[in-house]
Amino acid sequence: MNWFKKSRYLVPIAICFIGILAIAYYYFVGSFSKLSSTEYVYIDDNDNLDSVCAKLEPIASYHGLIAFKMMSRHGGYSDNIRSGRYAITPDQSTIRVFRNLKNGHQEPVRLTIPESRTMDRLAGYLSKKLMMDSVAVAILLSDSSFCAQQGYDTATIACLFIPNTYEVYWNISIENLMKRMKKENENFWNTQRTIKADALNLSKEEVCTIASIIDEETANNAEKPMIAGMYLNRLKAGMPLQADPTIKFALKDFALKRIYHNMLQFDSPYNTYKNTGLPPGPIKIASVAGIDAVLNRTAHDYLYMCAKEDFSGTHNFAKTYQEHLKNAAKYSKALNERGIK
């Protein structure tokens, strides 16, 4: 009889307890996201709990956001918010999302270093892909002391960057990014590439400088070793490179489609019409294809080249100046016919 009396109270208590567990499971262990795809949340250094929750709101289910706020206030998250890029998958529980954000378990980004023409442009690109301020990055990349710490100067710092895709954390500092780029640069300049550069009596920076000019001359990778051979012939002969892309770089006018004679008088160390030898540094971040084109240049006797009149992006090569003038005349005529100025 006593057992039946007790059961009258135990059953409701058990039901309540199960109900509480079900609610707790629903709020804390159930799926946090209301979406069917993986989403990413970017937490900045200046975020607080309210702003973090505002970023989570478009992703979170109603019960998930309530549970997250509860855990954040009682779990110490509001006092130790970690920046980063965090992945939220459809199957993640609210507890898992909370732990990832609290412990800084972020998802890396795939950063592709572009073949930027200037360090200002690179800084702008990095600020769009990472938690970096473009102005601050640009200032550092133009600072001689900072560049010296990386083993370069302000003219050659572009040589540090090898255009490739890397996995890094979104909140990586510019200092740590430089360390990573230096490591990747060392891996790229393996024994084989270094031996080839030494055989040409060129430093790595000089290889990158020539490669950057070649990259601007053509997008045709198959022709790049030919152009490399021509520029190396000119250097060996003590002739000026007379590379039109260096004029565009000197003028900082990359939209120029035609170089006129008065532009060749512009006073700049990058003007390869007025100065012999190589310019102080690359005119862009050199491509891997451009670097390898220099290291594996085609051996020939050509000293001149001119864009083909069919606008195919390739060039006519010549051994003599007289032959070059004929090629130049054909190209100039084609430009005039198309009204390109």
3-state secondary structure string, the chain?
Answer: CHHHHHHHHHHHHHHHHHHHHHHHHHHHHCECECCCCCEEEEECCCCCHHHHHHHHCCCECHHHHHHHHHHHHHCCHHHCCCCEEEEECCCCEHHHHHHHHHHCCCCCEEEECCCCCCHHHHHHHHHHHCCCCHHHHHHHHCCHHHHHHCCCCCCCHHHHCCCCEEEECCCCCHHHHHHHHHHHHHHHCCHHHHHHHHHCCCCHHHHHHHHHHHHHHCCCCCCHHHHHHHHHHHHHHCCCCCCHHHHHHHHCCCCCCCCCHHHHHCCCCCCCCCCCCCCCCCCCCCCHHHHHHHHCCCCCCCCEEEECCCCCCCEEEECCHHHHHHHHHHHHHHHHHHCCC
Question: Per-residue pLDDT for 17 more than 50?
Answer: no
Residue predicted with more confidence, 9 or 268? 268
Of 9-13, 100-104, 270-274, 313-317, which gets the smallest average pLDDT?
9-13
As a whole number, mean pLDDT of residues 191-209 equals 98
**By the 8 A CB rule, do 277 and 111 touch?**
no
% pLDDT > 70, the chain = 91
Q: Are 207 and 295 in contact (CB under 8 A)?
A: yes
Position 234, amino acid:
R
Span 116-144, average pLDDT? 97
When pLDDT is cut at 50, 70 and 90, the band that residue 27 belongs to is low
pLDDT at 22: 46
Q: What is the pLDDT of residue 1?
A: 47
Comparing 38-52, 232-246, 316-330, the range with the smallest average pLDDT is 316-330
Q: Please determine, looking at this structure, whether the domain spanning 24-103 carries the CATH number 3.40.1190.20.
A: no
pLDDT of residue 256: 86
Residue 334 has what pLDDT?
Answer: 87
CA-to-CA distance for 170 and 184, rounded, in angstroms?
18
CB atoms within 10 A of CB 262: 7
Q: How confident is the model at residue 337 (pLDDT cuts 50, 70, 90)?
A: confident
Domain residue ranges in the chain: 24-103, 109-188, 191-300
Whether pLDDT at 173 is above 90: yes
Interval 261-279 mean pLDDT:
93
Confidence band for 336, pLDDT divided at 50, 70 and 90 = confident
> What's the rounded Cα separation, in Å, for the pair 285 and 156?
10
Look at residue 25 and tell me whether its pLDDT is greater than 60: no
Residue 13 has pLDDT above 60, yes or no: no
Asked if pLDDT for residue 259 goes beyond 70, the answer is yes
pTM for the structure as a whole:
0.86
Residue 92, pLDDT above cutoff 70: yes
